[in-house]
Amino acid sequence: MEWDFRNIDDEGKLNLKHFFWRCTACGTCRSGYTYGPPPTFRKICPQGEKFGFQGFFGSKGKAALARWMTGCSYLTDEKFEYTPEFLNTLYTCTECGGCQNQCMIDFKPHIIDTIEAMRAKAVQDGKGPLQDHHVLVMSMKNNDNPYTGPRAIRAKWMKKISKTSNLKDINKESSPVLYYAGCTPAYNAPVRDLALSTVSVFDKIGLDYGALGKKEVCCGSTVLRIGERDQFERVASNNLEQFKWLHDERGVDTIVTSCAGCYRAFVEDYPHSDAYKDCMDGIRVLHTSELLYEKFKNGEWEPTKEVKMKVTYHDPCHLGRHLKEWIIDWDGVKQWEGSYLDCVDKGVFEPPRELIKAIPGIEFEDMKRARNNSFCCGSGGGIKTAFPDWAAENAAMRVEEAMETGAEKIISCCPFCHANLNDGAKVIKSGCNTMDLIELLDKAL
């Protein structure tokens, strides 16, 4: 299986270099701003707000790093060399895409790819990722998950499932729906209830579904984000082949996951494989919130129990603004070669909100920064592994924003955000904890 991720130093026409040189350094990426009216101004870049210097801030900073790293700084005699400080700057970006949402020029569609390509180059040169990431990478190599948990306990959470559950062992039985739990609920104890709640809700709405149990393998998202492409490609190739087998042999036509990271990997990263179309033919990927919303709209179920609570919703980056179909004029037919024309927003923004609002007794209010201008929890891009204190500190800012709405709980759809926001709440000793949407829905059924 071949993968076609772009490299930071690719030669040829319309390579990444072409695009990061189109950054004008205007700095629009530094903050979330809309005219409105009324105008709104919000901090949007966790890395920039924390570390301050130009170079850390937004896509303008990343373009500068890319130019510096690739030695195409033709206007200066200075030469690039890896330093701990450079790697620190490279690896303190959460890859949240907040800057990408502000940018208006041709660099826009290529910003996150540029960051990941720089990290891949650092790995290729034997300089990346950071020391603290190595345990994650080793765990992926040895255990097929980033949490250092042995393969044998991946399915331990399933032991708590009722014997009357609809959940099938899809290795042995056919089912149209594969519930891909992901590593975080399997190995990260603070969010383990997420998988159990998913099973509970699926059972309550009478879904026919199955899971892989011990045979489930990490989606690869965490290693891809830090530049470890080889490890990503290994597990992703395995998954694609497994998905094809499940489709052909077990009748799977839907893969559903409660993890925003897995979802992003399946829909945004896996298409980089030359086998993607073949392996995923006849299979659709849905986030749990999408599947449940679809069935809710069709009248197949509805929340019935009252949950008296005021809540707000945190948009995970991987389930929100990362999901875009970029419209680029590659051939220059409409504008010029490589020009950014538009994007189709595929972010899963409304299903979670609609489901929350459908619960009797719930009071809902969005935070000031929401949807495409959501403020990252600070967990992504390898930050939680290498900089756990800062990740929690950043999450604390998000919790404070949630508290401004008067919410008692934050609802989210990502186990990474979930765990980190709760760490943030601890930092400021806030009772405004986070629960997953699926846990909330479980209470309402």
Partner 1 sequence: MVENTNILGELKGIAGDEHATSDKHIMYAYSYDMCFVPNKLPKYVVQPANVEEIIEIVKLCNKTKTPMIPVGANTNIGGLCIPKQENTLLIDLRRLNKIIKIDEETRYAVVEPGVSHAQLAEALYSKGLRFGWPVGPPSGTVMGCALCHGISGMSGRYGLNSQMITSMEVIRPTGEMCRVGSCALKEDSWHSFLPLPRMDGLFTGWFGTTGIVTKIGIYTPAVPPHVDVVTTSTEHISEMYKYMLEFGRYEMADDLTAVNWWLSQSPIPYPYKEKPADEHKWNSYAVLYGYTEKELEAKVDAFNTVVKHQQELGSSVLKTEYPEEAKRGRTELPSQIIGSTKNYCKEAGGGISWPGTFTPANKWEEVYNKWEVIYKNRNLSPATRVTMYRGIHYGMLRAMTPINKQSPEETENAKQAIVEALGAILDAGGIPYKPPTDFNIEINKRANPGYLKLMEDIKDMIDPNGIMNPGQLVVR
What Å distances lie between residue 197 and 49, 416, 423, CA to CA? 36, 16, 21
Other residues' Cβ atoms within 10 Å of the Cβ of residue 166 = 18
What six digits make up the tokens of 298?
Answer: 């069709």
Q: How far is the CB of 54 from partner 1 (least distance, A)?
A: 4
Q: List all residues 6 or more positions away from 366 whose beta carbon is below 8 Å from its beta carbon.
A: 312, 313, 353, 405
Give whichever of 135 and 341 is closer to partner 1, judged by the CB atom: 341
Q: Rounded to whole angstroms, how far apart are CA atoms 142 and 139? A: 5
Q: Rounded to whole angstroms, how far apart are CA atoms 432 and 424? A: 10
Q: How far is the CB of 17 from partner 1 (least distance, A)?
A: 8
Give whichever of 308 and 368 is closer to partner 1, judged by the CB atom: 368
Residue 291 and residue 198 in contact, taking contact as beta carbons nearer than 8 Å: no
Give whichever of 26 and 135 is closer to partner 1, judged by the CB atom: 26
Q: How far is the CB of 91 from partner 1 (least distance, A)?
A: 13
Q: List all residues 6 or more positions away from 104 whose beta carbon is below 8 Å from its beta carbon.
A: 28
Give whichever of 189 and 327 is closer to partner 1, judged by the CB atom: 327
Cα angle vertex 256, ends 254, 258, to 5°? Answer: 175
Give whichever of 79 and 172 is closer to partner 1, judged by the CB atom: 79
Q: How far is the CB of 168 from partner 1 (least distance, A)?
A: 50
Q: How far is the CB of 341 from partner 1 (least distance, A)?
A: 11
Q: List all residues 6 or more positions away from 169 whose beta carbon is below 8 Å from its beta carbon.
A: 210, 211, 213
Q: Rounded to whole angstroms, how far apart are CA atoms 159 and 25? A: 54
Q: Rounded to whole angstroms, how far apart are CA atoms 325 and 346? A: 7
Give whichever of 64 and 437 is closer to partner 1, judged by the CB atom: 64
What is the binding site for partner 1 (CB under 8 A)?
A: 17-18, 21-31, 33-41, 51-56, 60-61, 64-65, 67-69, 72-76, 78, 80, 83, 85-86, 89, 102, 104-106, 335-336, 339
Q: How far is the CB of 38 from partner 1 (least distance, A)?
A: 5
Q: If phi over 0 gives left and psi between -120 and 50 gives alpha, with beta otherwise, what is residue 430?
A: beta
Q: How far is the CB of 81 from partner 1 (least distance, A)?
A: 8
Give whichever of 79 and 277 is closer to partner 1, judged by the CB atom: 79
Give whichever of 48 and 220 is closer to partner 1, judged by the CB atom: 48
Q: Which residue has the tokens 């500068």?
A: 64
What Å distances lie between residue 284 and 29, 178, 306, 313, 333, CA to CA? 33, 10, 32, 25, 32
Q: How far is the CB of 199 from partner 1 (least distance, A)?
A: 45
